[in-house]
Structure 1
């Protein structure tokens, strides 16, 4: 189960990086606009942190996207 969870977290982080690149925003900007700490964004990007719903919402707010876009990705189990 841990391997699947790790793969999912890494894929989520990769999707977040792509959305950030698409919106031309860095982690600091996303964090500031979302009202969270920059280190929280970096932990999610690196797959070190399983984001809570409030973190997902804050990141989506910072990216100016709907939260569902953060979950629009595929990953290998």
Structure 2
């Protein structure tokens, strides 16, 4: 994976964690609401798994944020 991609994946993971924590939710609660496996969410949050647009859409809807917010802090 290219360094730029790794930075984007890392930024998205940090932001998933940030917004999930702001809601006071566990990984399992986010998984239930977004219909994404909790183990996958954990991998996204830790930057260990590449994330597709459909997952970004589902997570942002569950977290009630604009999808672009998940890329905050990512500078090319």
TM range (shorter): 0.7 to 0.9
Map Cα deviations across residues 16-52 of structure 1 (whole Å, 9 max, x no partner): 1111111111211111001111111111101112211
Contact map agreement 1:30 1:62 (CA 8 A) in 2: yes
> TM-score, with normalisation over the residues of structure 1?
0.80
**Matched residue count:** 76
Aligned to 1:39: 39
Give 5+ residue unaligned stretches, structure 2.
none
Give 5+ residue unaligned stretches, structure 1.
none
Instruction: Give 4+ residue runs of structure 1 displaced > 4 Å after superposition.
Output: none
Residue 64 of structure 1 deviates from its aligned partner by 2.8
Aligned to 1:50: 50
